């Protein structure tokens, strides 16, 4: 474990806590893409298949359980909680996210570290996570105004993978045989997808104005 | 499983 990876995990956890706060405090999920949340649930289930077979550390197991449980709870809330589901922007959240699932799985069948079920599902979860934010960014473009908690949620979600990139650079420099090309290239693509959001987020923060994404 | 197969990152 290094400081970059710890910062990344804590930022990722923070993004989930901010989203849970928004949904719990406002009893609303307006501005949140359910499709992106469903993709994240698939990402965590597919990535943590080793939850019961490989014990790394208490921290590792604890965080995996938190990520799986929170992503499933958020999807459940957005689908079945009477108050929350009413505020879902169904007509704005129209990205065909199943294409992302199919494409990521197809890519994982071609590009993986080992041709085993666990490795293919791991690569699939890495590719899917890189594009999982797309329905959310599309929804933001359509809904125009972004409430503070949603903006902070997306900011922390984007920042966490940027910390992971620093982690991979650090590990590459300090650990002789460390290579995680699939995760690293995918992580760079994932972070790049947030580039314009980060730009408008920074502008709104600098001008102390409401975050607006150009339609 | 070999050591390097185990994914120690989240």
Nearest to A91 by CA among A23, A33, A144, A19: A33
Task: Encode pLDDT of A193-212 as tens digits.
Answer: 999 999 999 999 999 999 98
pLDDT on residue A137: 96
Q: How far is A196 from chain B (nearest CA, A)?
A: 26
Task: Encode pLDDT of A19-74 as tens digits.
Answer: 999 999 999 999 999 999 999 999 999 999 999 999 999 999 999 999 999 999 99
Inter-chain residue contact B7 with A50, CB threshold 8 Å:
yes
B4, B5, B9 ranked by CB distance to A177: nearest: B4
Inter-chain residue contact A54 with B6, CB threshold 8 Å:
yes
A-chain residues near B2 (CB < 8 A): none
- How is residue A145 annotated by DSSP? B
Query: Is there a contact between A40 and A71 (Cβ–Cβ < 8 Å)?
Result: yes
pLDDT on residue A61: 98
**Cα-based distances in Å from A206 to A95, A159, A203:** 31, 18, 5
Is the pLDDT reported for residue A76 higher than 80?
yes
Tell whether B2 lies on the interface with A, counting CB pairs under 8 A.
Answer: no
Sign of CA dihedral A213, A150, A9, A97: negative
pLDDT on residue A16: 98
Cα separation of A52 and A85, whole Å? 33
């Amino acid at each position: 474990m290094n400081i970059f990876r710890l910062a990344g995990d804590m930022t990722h956890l923070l993004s989930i806590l901010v989203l849970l706060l928004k949904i719990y405090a406002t009893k609303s999920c307006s501005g949140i893409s359910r499709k992106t949340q469903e993709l994240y649930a698939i990402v965590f289930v597919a990535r943590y298949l080793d939850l019961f077979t490989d014990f790394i550390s208490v921290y590792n197991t604890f965080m995996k359980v938190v990520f799986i449980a929170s992503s499933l709870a958020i999807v459940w809330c957005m689908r079945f909680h009477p108050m929350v589901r009413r505020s879902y922007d169904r007509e704005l959240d129209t990205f065909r996210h199943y294409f992302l699932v199919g494409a990521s799985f197809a890519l994982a069948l071609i590009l993986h570290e080992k041709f085993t079920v666990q490795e293919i599902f791991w690569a699939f979860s890495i590719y899917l996570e890189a594009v999982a934010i797309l329905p959310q960014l599309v929804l933001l473009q359509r809904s125009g105004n972004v409430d503070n908690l949603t903006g902070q949620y997306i900011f922390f979600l984007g920042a966490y993978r940027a910390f992971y990139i620093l982690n991979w650079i650090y590990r590459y420099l300090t650990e002789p045989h460390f290579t995680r090309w699939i995760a690293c290239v995918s992580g760079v693509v994932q972070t790049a997808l947030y580039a314009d959001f980060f730009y408008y987020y920074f502008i709104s923060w600098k001008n102390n104005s409401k975050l607006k994404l150009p339609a | 499983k070999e050591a390097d197969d185990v994914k120690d990152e989240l």
